[in-house]
A and B are shown apart, each in its own frame.
Chain A
Amino acid sequence: DAGVTQSPTHLIKTRGQQVTLRCSPKSGHDTVSWYQQALGQGPQFIFQYYEEEERQRGNFPDRFSGHQFPNYSSELNVNALLLGDSALYLCASSIRQGTGELFFGEGSRLTVL
């Protein structure tokens, strides 16, 4: 049973560019959440998707957007990249009617130069 998979694992971009990160949830999970983890910090909630709609959003600008597909996989898009967007981006999946336990992927490490 595959867990949460994310791609790419590492990427380097320059300021002003756009990036798309991808996530496949654990089998049987229907909800995907995205977190940003800056160096030395705990994960910060970006948003959560369920039934292809954004259901909750954290305190992130609208440069951060996402999408969920019918197969429950998800994308995180970040436009107009800033140096401060450099971080580990974690995708987590869960079951909508579960207890909120999140299963995390290995993350995508984004470096903005």
Chain B
Amino acid sequence: AQSVTQLDSQVPVFEEAPVELRCNYSSSVSVYLFWYVQYPNQGLQLLLKYLSGSTLVKGINGFEAEFNKSQTSFHLRKPSVHISDTAEYFCAVKTTNYGGSQGNLIFGKGTKLSVKP
């Protein structure tokens, strides 16, 4: 069975500092990987996704993530954060063997990023 572990429940950081939000997954088959962001009282918005190809994926708002198959990780990074990046971030995994959208996304418990001035 698949699972997703987000290693940090809360990450405080100062504005303009770099940040890394960690995500590890467990799956015996090939996967698609996603990062979503959730602002207070809102739904989830896709930041970026890894489907295949280059292991370094760039997303919206200056975020990027690197897929590491040997370490089963998909850490999210941003070189310089803004106050507006304060939100909760969710890592999610979906196996590819279902094909199309037949499989469902499995989410981690989330990491709350708090950017301080």
Contact = CB atoms under 8 A, between A and B. Distances in A.
Nearest to B104: A45
B64 to A, nearest CB: 18
A42 to B, nearest CB: 4
A100 B32 contact: yes
A4 B42 CA distance: 12
Interface in A73-113: 90, 92, 94-107
26 contacts: A33-B105, A35-B107, A40-B109, A41-B109, A42-B4, A42-B110, A43-B44, A43-B90, A44-B107, A45-B106, A55-B102, A56-B102, A56-B103, A56-B104, A94-B101, A95-B101, A97-B101, A100-B32, A100-B98, A100-B101, A100-B103, A101-B34, A102-B101, A104-B43, A107-B42, A107-B43
A48 interface: yes
Contact of A102 (B51, B99, B105, B108): B105
Interface of A: 4, 31, 33, 35, 40-45, 48, 50, 55-56, 58, 90, 92, 94-107
A42 B109 contact: yes
Interface residues of B, number: 26
Interface in B59-117: 90, 94, 98-110
Contacts of B49: 99, 101
A59 B73 CA distance: 26
Contacts of A107: 42-43
Contacts of A31: 101
Nearest to B52: A99
